[in-house]
Amino acid sequence: MARALVVGGTGPTGPHVVQGLQDRGHEVTILHRGTHELPELDGIEHIHADPHFREAVEQALDSRAVAQGRLGSLSARATALITRSTTSMG
């Protein structure tokens, strides 16, 4: 089973991304600031950290593959993290 970290998983599309990953057999963790919680994500591991700080994201990446990033300016950072994590896992 693959592990996936969804950055910003509590936004409008986050629960759908999480469900899609779970349906495909992934163990999902979401990284978000913790400013609001969605009841449909109660059974998911949450990491509360500000994803705008590199150190917090790097700590959360520990042995996880990044699946998605949808926080506006974080899209480019998420793409870079996806590349980095898939390269290091390869």
Residue 68, domain member (yes or no): yes
CB atoms within 10 A of CB 80: 12
**Listing from the earlier edge strand, what are the strands of the sheet with 27-32?**
45-48, 27-32, 3-7, 65-69
Residue 21, domain member (yes or no): yes
Residue 1, domain member (yes or no): no
Q: What is the pLDDT of residues 34-90, one digit of tens each?
A: 888 999 999 998 988 888 888 877 776 665 555 444 444 445 555 565 565 555 554
What CATH code is carried by the domain that includes residue 15? Answer: 3.40.50.720
Q: What is the pLDDT of residues 51-62, one digit of tens each?
A: 888 887 777 666
What is the model's pTM?
0.63
